[in-house]
Amino acid sequence: MTILVVAEYENGAVAPATLNTVAAAAKIGGDVHVLVAGQNVGGVAESAAKIAGVAKVLVADNAAYAHALPENVAPLIVELAKGYSHVLAPATTNGKNILPRVAALLDVDQISEIIAVESADTFKRPIYAGNAIATVQSSAAIKVITVRTTGFDAVAAEGGSAAIEAVGAAHDAGISAFVGEELAKSDRPELTAAKIVVSGGRGMGNGDNFKHLYSLADKLGAAVGASRAAVDAGFVPNDMQVGQTGKIVAPQLYIAVGISGAIQHLAGMKDSKVIVAINKDEEAPIFQVADYGLVADLFEAVPELEKLV
Amino acid sequence: MKVLVAVKRVVDYNVKVRVKADNSGVDLANVKMSMNPFCEIAVEEAVRLKEKGVATEIVVVSVGPATAQEQLRTALALGADRAILVEAADELNSLAVAKALKAVVDKEQPQLVILGKQAIDSDNNQTGQMLAALTGFAQGTFASKVEVAGDKLNVTREIDGGLQTVALNLPAIVTTDLRLNEPRYASLPNIMKAKKKPLETVTPDALGVSLASTNKTLKVEAPAARSAGIKVKSVAELVEKLKNEAKVI
C-alpha cells in the first residue's frame, strides 16, 4: 500500500494541515508520498521532504497549477493516483474543492472529513453537524479521502529526509482562470491550529467591540474566531467563522463570548478540550457543553479576564 | 441562459437529530424536513439572475424520494419555472447524485448549474465538484458572489484565508456559500401558482444511470457526550480553575 497525500501550503512551506493529514496516512499504514503541486514550489517541496515518515515527495511545478485551480490540478492527481491505494488531502477549502473532482474522475465515492481510521478501508466521520458519527467502508480500488485535521495529531515537521522527484505533465484545461484574492491579514496564530481560541458572537454588539477579544487573545497567544451571527452582522470577516460551514477547531481551550451555542456553531468547536462560556443568558445552550460557564456581562468579564491571566 | 438548480430534501436545520438504537442511521420518522439551506440560496441566486435578465429559464431538480416533490414545489413558489424529480428511494451517495444530475444536464443543456456547497445531513461537500468533473465544466465552489461577464462567469469564493475570485468559462458549475444571498420567502399566491407549474418525474433507469456506490455505511453512533461542566461565580474563580484544574493557561 502506498498513500498519496496532497500537500496544503502557504508562504512557501507546507501548512500545518499537511502534517495532520500525513498523521492520518500513517494510521492507515504503508509508504506515504506527498504531492506538492503549484508554481515555484521548490521550497515547499523541501519542507515536505523533512516531514517525519514521508518516503517521497512528488513535485509538479507548473504555471497551470498556480492557485490550485481544480480544473487543472484534479487531472494531475488522477494521473498520479493510479499507482496508489489511497489519496488523502486535508479538509481545507482547497482539499474540499479538488478531491471530489478527483474521485468522480476515478469513478469512486469520496469519504469526507474523516476523524478516525478504523482500518485501511474503514473510517469514521461526523454527519448531521457532528450530531452522529458514521463508520464508512470503502470498496474503491483507490480510496479518496479528506481528513479533518483536528482529528489527528500532527506528525513532526522535521526529521525526515525524503527524496524529491519531479512528476506530472502539465494539465491545463483552459476553462478557468485565477483573477485575484483578498486575504485577511493577522499576526495571531492560524485559527484551525491555535491552542487557544477566543470567539465572539452576536453578543459583542458591533465589530469595534471585538477589540476586547483581540487584546485578550494577544495576552493568551490565542486565535480569534466568531459565530455566524457575528460574521453575518459584519462584525468580522467570514474566514473567522467557526462552525459546520466555517472552520472546525479543536483547541486546548475555547472561550465562547456572547455566543448562544446553536447546533451549527457547536459542530465546529465541541471537540475542544476545555470549553469556557461567558454569556449573560444563563439559559443559553452553550452552557450545556461548557466545562466552565460564567453568567456575566461580557463587557465587564472580558477586560477582567484579560487583567487576571 | 438556462439555469439548472439542484435541491435536496433534508432534516430541518433546527432539529436535534437522534441516532437509532440499532445504529443503522438517524431517526427521521416524524421529523420536520425542509429544503437544505444551501439549496435555498442556490434557488434564490437563480431567481435573482432571472430578475436581472441574465437567466431565461430556471429548471429545478432533485434526486431523492417522492416526498422531495414538496421541496421542488417550494422552489417553484420561489420563482423556478419547472421541476424534475429523479425518483430514487434509497439514501444516495454524492457520486450517484452527480451521475443523475449529469444525465439531466445532458438533456437540459443548461449554461449554469447552481448547487449548495453541502447538504446539512451528510455534510459531504462533494456533489457540485463531482458534477463538474463528470460534465467537464469549470467549478466555482463556496461562492459568495456570482457575476456573468460576457461569456465568462466571475465567481468570488470563500477560501480559508479570505476571498478568491476566479473566471470560469460557461457552461459552469457554482456551489453556494451562506453569504451569497438572503433567500426570500414564498408568498401565498406564489405557492398557489407553483401548484400549476410542471413537475416531471423520471427514474434513474430511464436516465440510464447506475446508483451503485463504493461506500457503505456500517453503523451510525451518537458522538461521545461531554460531561456536564460547572458554573463559576466570578472571573477570578474562572482563571483559578483554568490555571489549576484544567491547566490550559
pLDDT in tens, B112-167: 999 999 999 999 999 999 999 999 999 999 999 999 998 899 999 999 989 999 99
> Given the C-alpha cell 501550503, which residue does it identify?
A9
pLDDT at A159: 95
| Residue type (1 letter), A180 | G
Within B150-243, strands assigned E span 152-159, 162-169, 172-176, 199-202, 215-221, 230-232
Q: Which three cell numbers stand for residue A182?
A: 483578498
Contacts of B62 (CB under 8 A, 6+ apart): B6, B7, B8, B9, B68, B71, B72, B83, B84, B85, B86
C-alpha span between A122 and A60 (Å, rounded): 30
The whole-angstrom distance between B177's CA and the closest CA on chain A is 8
- Please check the confidence at residue B9 and state whether its pLDDT lies above 90: yes
pLDDT of residue B150: 87
According to DSSP, residue B178 is labeled G
What is the tens place of the pLDDT at every residue in A198-227?
999 999 999 999 999 999 999 999 999 999
Chain A residues near residue B130 by CB distance under 8 angstroms? 100-101, 103-104, 110
Counting as low any pLDDT under 70, the low residues of chain A are none
pLDDT given at position A241: 97
pLDDT average, residue stretch B32-38: 97
Q: Can you give the pLDDT at residue B168? A: 98
d(CA B124, CA B137): 20
Q: Report the pLDDT value the prediction gives residue B225, as an integer from 0 to 100.
A: 86
Burial of B185: CB neighbours in 10 Å, binned 0-12, 13-18, 19+: exposed
Asked whether the beta carbons of A237 and A181 are under 8 A apart, the reply is no
Collect all residues of chain A within an 8 Å Cβ-Cβ radius of residue B102: none
Indicate the DSSP class of residue B61: E
Q: Chain B closest CA to A71's CA: distance in Å?
A: 6
Yes or no, beta carbons of A176 and B138 under 8 Å apart: yes
Contact A101 B129 (CB under 8 A): yes
Strand, coil or helix: A42: helix
How long a stretch of residues is chain A? 309
Q: Which three cell numbers stand for residue A227?
A: 459565530
Nearest CA in chain B to A143: B214
Size of chain B, expressed as the number of residues it contains: 249
- How sure is the predictor about B207, in pLDDT bands with cuts at 50, 70 and 90? very high
Residue identified by cell 491579514 is A185
Q: Least CB-CB distance to B167: which of A130, A176, A290?
A: A176
User: Measured between beta carbons, which residues in chain A are less than 8 angstroms from residue B218?
Assistant: 122, 135-137
- Cα–Cα distance for residue pair B47/B53, rounded to 1 Å: 10
Collapse the DSSP code of A170 into the 3-class scheme (helix H, G, I; strand E, B; otherwise coil) and give the result.
Answer: coil
Contacts of B132 in chain A (CB under 8 A): 70-71, 101
CB B100 within 8 A of CB B86: yes
Does position B218 have pLDDT exceeding 80, yes or no? yes
Distance from CA of residue B57 to its chain's centroid?
A: 20
Task: Out of B19, B120, B142, name the one closest to residue A244 (CB).
Answer: B120
DSSP B228: P
Q: Is the pLDDT of residue B90 over 80?
A: no
Query: Is B179's pLDDT higher than 80?
Result: yes
Side-chain-side CA neighbours of B247 within 13 Å: the count stands at 0
Q: For B106-162, give the secondary structure using H, E and C.
A: HHHCCCEEEEECCCCCCCCCCHHHHHHHHHCCEEEEEEEEEEEECCEEEEEEEECCE
Residue A110's DSSP bridge partners are: A144
Q: What's the confidence (pLDDT) of residue B44?
A: 98
Query: Could you tell me which residues are beta bridge partners of residue A292?
Result: A276, B230
Residue B127 contacts residue B101 (beta carbons within 8 Å): yes
Q: What is the pLDDT of residue B81?
A: 98
Q: Is the pTM of this model over 0.80?
A: yes
- Give the 3-state secondary structure of residue B21: coil
Which residues make Cβ contacts (< 8 Å) with residue B180, sequence separation at least 6? B41, B44, B45, B143, B144, B145, B146
For residue B227, pLDDT over 90 is answered with no
- B133-158 burial, b at 16+ Cβ within 10 Å, e below that, comes to bbbebbbbbbbbbbebeeebbbbbbb
pLDDT score of B228: 76
Q: What phi-psi label fits residue B241: left (phi over 0), alpha (psi between -120 and 50 degrees) or beta?
A: alpha
Q: Which residue of chain B comes nearest to A277, CA vs CA?
A: B231
Alpha carbons within 13 A on the beta-carbon side of B83: 28
Cell numbers linked to A139? 470498496
Amino acid B247: pLDDT: 87
pLDDT for the residue numbered A40: 96
Using DSSP bridges, classify how beta strands A110-114 and A56-61 pair: parallel, antiparallel or unpaired: unpaired
- Measured between alpha carbons, how far is B78 from B73 in angstroms, rounded to an integer? 9
Task: Give the helix/strand (H/E) hosting B87.
Answer: strand B82-87
d(CA B162, CA B142): 12
* Residue B82, pLDDT score: 98
> B159 to chain A: which residues are within 8 Å by CB?
93-94, 181, 239
In this complex, which of A177, A228, A304 lies closest to B235 when CB atoms are compared?
A: A304
Is the predicted pLDDT of residue B249 greater than 90, yes or no? no
Cα–Cα distance between B191 and B135 in angstroms, integer?
A: 33
A199, A256 Cβ separation under 8 angstroms: yes
